[in-house]
Copies of this chain bind each other. A is one copy, B any other.
Amino acid sequence: MDADLTPEAPAESQGQTDAVTELLGAIGYAELTAGLRMAADALAAPGLGVRVWMGRASSAELEHFERIVTRLKEMGQDPETVMEPFIAPVDAFHERTRPRDWLEALVKIYVGDGIARDFYREIAQHVDEGSRELIESVLQVDEQDEFVVGAVTDAIDADPAVAGRLALWARRLVGEAIAQTQYVAVEREALMTMMVGGQQAGVDLADLGRMFTRLIELHGQRMGRLGLTP
């Protein structure tokens, strides 16, 4: 045999597996709650069209949730146990970001969904193959940004003051999302290491900060598409 052997893939460490499990638990509960909240917010939407769109967004989130539950079971985990620690921070995020009207609700879906996608793309590189496939399948679900862009643009045309209010709202959403993610990450070293792509313990908040910076840049581009100042 040739001496030019390809290096063996390193065996997955227990820490890595635990981190992926935690990550799926966090994402799973976040998707479940996002789906249920969207549906609740949809009931306050003025027209049938908006209600239907928000109902579809809700269904998509609940479907992601089901895929994560399936994956956790494949990994021999109990989904409820794994999600339990993330109930408090996710619920806190939503308590602190209750939309005052359906327009804020739409922007919340747009901003939240966008950041979630970018976050998934970041972490997809650092997880095992089965989990990567799951994350990529979730990313393939059709993006329905056009509807939000149209609705927000129309609302700003009708009342330009809306732009300032929604820009502030979007900033608050991102701030709260980052705050809650930090709370979760600082208490879980293996999870934080994996999220920033580190190979061993010893990553710090600065690494996490750099990932947030990348996410905020992409968020800014999305805000621009809405016609809002990031």
Q: Does A23 interact with chain B (Cβ within 8 Å)?
A: no
Chain B residues contacting A51 (CB-CB under 8 Å) are 32, 36
Instruction: Tell me what chain A mostly uses at the interface: helix, strand, loop, or mixed.
Output: helix
Minimum CB distance partner of A91 in chain B: B43
Q: Does A83 interact with chain B (Cβ within 8 Å)?
A: yes
- With A32-B55, A55-B65, A58-B62 known to touch, is A80 a contact of B48 (CB < 8 Å)? yes
- A40-65, CB < 8 A from B: 40, 42-43, 48-49, 51-52, 55-56, 58-59, 62-63, 65
Q: Does A37 interact with chain B (Cβ within 8 Å)?
A: yes
Q: How far is the CA of A59 from the CA of B63 in the complex (A)?
A: 8
Minimum CB distance partner of A94 in chain B: B43
CB distance from A71 to the nearest CB of B (A): 15
Q: How far is the CA of A51 from the CA of B52 in the complex (A)?
A: 22
Q: Is the CB of B48 within 8 A of A84?
A: yes
Q: How far is the CA of A49 from the CA of B51 in the complex (A)?
A: 27
A binding-site residues for B, Cβ under 8 Å:
29, 32-33, 35-40, 42-43, 48-49, 51-52, 55-56, 58-59, 62-63, 65-66, 69, 80, 83-84, 87
